[in-house]
Amino acid sequence: MNKQDIQDIKELLSAPKKVVIVPHKNPDGDAMGSSLGLYHYLTKLNHEVQVIAPNDYPDFLKWLPGDSSVIKYESAVKESDALIKNADVIFTLDFNALHRTGSMEDILTSSMAIKIMIDHHQQPDDYATYMYSDVSMCSTCQMMYHFLEMLGEEDCIDKDIATCLYTGIMTDTGSFRFRSTSSMTHRVIANLIDRGADNAQIHNSIYDTNSYARLQLLGCALSNLKIVPELCTAYISLSQKELNKYNFKKGDTEGFVNYGLSLKGIIFAVIFIEHQQESIIKISMRSKGDFDVNQFARTYFNGGGHTNASGGRSELSLSATIEKFITILPSHKKDLNP
């Protein structure tokens, strides 16, 4: 995003516009935090703003300021299509390709609105009128902060905006511990605290709302954990039957994959989760150091993401997916060593 782009966007937003904000499907803290942070900013400027999430998201995000204004596309298709058709500007946040919005892809593709992408995923598609893509950034929420800075609008950041942006930076950095966390991330976080983000309350609202059933499900996942020590790899599987047994709710498996990575000597961790309703196995991958799980997910499991965090899917059964994975692993032997 160059100076001219910023100038154009400033001008575009200098009079009230109809704005739609879209995060990716199965939105996480960064997707919802950046969407709602931007929502509060644009609402302050008297734009007509609507966040449309492709589908529902976990309850632990539903306390975010502005949450009650969000529409879920899957359960409001007609209303959402009309809003998208009438929009002057569409912001697409925290994703790099329109198919990442699931069933919103077609209506977004055909929309004539000015599209502004803000995103930190690798290999972004070229669909946006203005593109702010930076794969070195830890989160779209940090990019949203820099976007407001570039617009000369830091002073507009109030407690609600600060709370939303803090949340996404915290969740996408694993509470400021992943490699993507920079000194600049900490500077941004410090400024967000100064502007009203209550760090202890935010952490508590996201992480300390476990149900007993979720902890039992974690116990099940950990007892299913397998390691391949010679390839520094750990993986977990959860079948639909196991999910049902522990009354699985959206978001319950968030973060489970990191337990594999917490093992001494492990640099590649994977979780395979059966989704009977969609007839797929959802796969999450994490790594430490240079092992590129974005490439791994793209090559074998129809997915993508970042170097150290990615996701994908398989249409094979759970056991066949794991078998495929185990068969592939040795071909990466040279990258999978301490």
Residues binding Mn ion (CB under 5 A) = 30, 94, 140, 172
Q: Closest distance between ligand 5GP and the C-beta of residue 80, in Å?
A: 21
| Contact of residue 54 among Mn ion, ligand 5GP, none (CB under 5-8 Å per partner type) | none
Between CA 170 and CA 28 the distance in angstroms is: 11
Phi/psi for 87 (5° steps) reads: -70, 140
Closer to ligand 5GP at the Cβ: 102 or 196?
Answer: 102
Q: Closest distance between Mn ion and the C-beta of residue 146, in Å?
A: 14
Q: Closest distance between Mn ion and the C-beta of residue 166, in Å?
A: 14
Candidate segments 111-119, 163-171, 192-200, 309-317, binder of ligand 5GP by CB under 6 A: 309-317
Query: Does residue 303 interact with ligand 5GP by CB under 6 A?
Result: yes
**Pair 138, 172: CB distance under 8 Å:** yes
Query: Does residue 58 interact with ligand 5GP by CB under 6 A?
Result: no
- When CB distances to ligand 5GP are compared, the closest residue is 311
Strand, helix or coil for residue 324: helix
Among 13, 305, 308, 336, which residue sits at the site for ligand 5GP (rule: CB under 6 A)?
305
Between CA 196 and CA 189 the distance in angstroms is: 11
Give the binding-site size for ligand 5GP (rule: CB under 6 A): 10
Q: Which long-range contacts (CB under 8 A, 24 or more apart) does 156-161 make?
A: 156/41, 156/44, 157/41, 157/191, 157/192, 157/195, 158/40, 158/44, 158/195, 158/196, 159/65, 159/195, 159/196, 159/197, 160/36, 160/40, 160/65, 160/66, 161/37, 161/40, 161/41, 161/195
| Contact of residue 252 among ligand 5GP, Mn ion, none (CB under 5-8 Å per partner type) | none
Q: Closest distance between ligand 5GP and the C-beta of residue 27, in Å?
A: 10
Closer to Mn ion at the Cβ: 101 or 140?
Answer: 140
Strand, helix or coil for residue 277: coil
Q: Which two tokens stand for residue 103?
A: 């069933």
Residue 101, H or E segment = none
Among 73, 91, 311, 336, which residue sits at the site for ligand 5GP (rule: CB under 6 A)?
311
Position 146: which residue type?
Answer: H
Each residue 253-292 as x (binds ligand 5GP by CB under 6 A) or -, in order, gives -------------------------------x--------
Q: Closest distance between Mn ion and the C-beta of residue 138, in Å?
A: 8
Closer to Mn ion at the Cβ: 133 or 321?
Answer: 133
Q: Closest distance between ligand 5GP and the C-beta of residue 10, in Å?
A: 29
Candidate segments 44-52, 128-136, 260-268, 303-311, binder of ligand 5GP by CB under 6 A: 303-311
Q: How many residues does the chain have?
A: 338
Q: Closest distance between Mn ion and the C-beta of residue 1, in Å?
A: 17
Q: Closest distance between ligand 5GP and the C-beta of residue 4, in Å?
A: 29
Q: Which 8-state DSSP code applies to residue 121?
A: -
**Mapped to the 3 state alphabet, what secondary structure does 245-258 carry?**
HCCCCCCCCCCCHH
Query: Does residue 33 interact with ligand 5GP by CB under 6 A?
Result: no
Query: Does residue 111 interact with ligand 5GP by CB under 6 A?
Result: no
Q: Which 8-state DSSP code applies to residue 70?
A: P
**Mapped to the 3 state alphabet, what secondary structure does 216-255 carry?**
HHHHHHHHCCEEEHHHCEEEEEECHHHHHHCCCCCCCCCC
Distances from the Cα of 279 to the Cαs of 239, 275, 285, 315, in angstroms? 12, 6, 20, 7
Binding site for ligand 5GP (CB under 6 A): 284, 303-306, 309-313
